Structure 1
Amino acid sequence: MRETPTWRIPLGIFALFAALMVYGVVIARYAPSIIGGWSGGAQTVVYVTLGLIWLLPLRRFLIWMETGRWSPPE
């Protein structure tokens, strides 16, 4: 376990927040014009999928914040 503070934690939090804001704005700007005419069920599936996609790179990002490496320790 880490005993000294590292710059990666606050930097990572700010980067994650900024990336999620950009992702949310892009989705809010472009998704409705693309899927606005679809049925409610299809739109729900798309928005749930888009809402979960941001989780895919999160594990590696959190590993970097803790260890400074992008891959898990072996």
Structure 2
Amino acid sequence: MRVRTRKLIGTVVLLVFLGVYAWVAVVVGAGRITLAPHWAQFAYFLAAGLIWVLPAGLLIRWMQRPD
């Protein structure tokens, strides 16, 4: 697969993934986590704000692979 094709596919997948991930994080953050202690809320929002970087980084590495 050519780099250009991988970049197109990767961009679409990344945008869909980030949209779904953000929606799930907001639903969880606005739901049950509001009843948790402050330290648990902090831990959740810290983790939710950083976990998306791992799959995005792997996808970007795949997109940048040479032909």
Q: Which residue of structure 1 aligns with residue 62 of structure 2?
A: 64
**TM-score (normalised: structure 2):** 0.75
The alignment status of 1:45 with 2:43, answered yes or no, reads yes
Gaps of 5+ in 2: none
Report deviation, 1:11: 1.7
Report deviation, 1:67: 1.6
Gaps of 5+ in 1: 69-74
C-alpha contact 2:3 2:64 (8 A) present in aligned 1 = no
With 7-16 and 29-38 compared, the bigger mean Cα shift is at: 29-38
**TM-score (normalised: structure 1):** 0.69
* CA shift digits 1:19-54 (9 cap, x unpaired): 010011111113322211123343122111111011
2:23 counterpart (11, 17, 25): 25
Asked which structure has the greater RCO (Cα within 8 Å, sep 6+), the reply is 2
* Richer in helix (by share): 2
Percentage identity across aligned positions? 28
How many pairs are equivalent?
A: 65
Q: Which has the larger radius of gyration?
A: 1
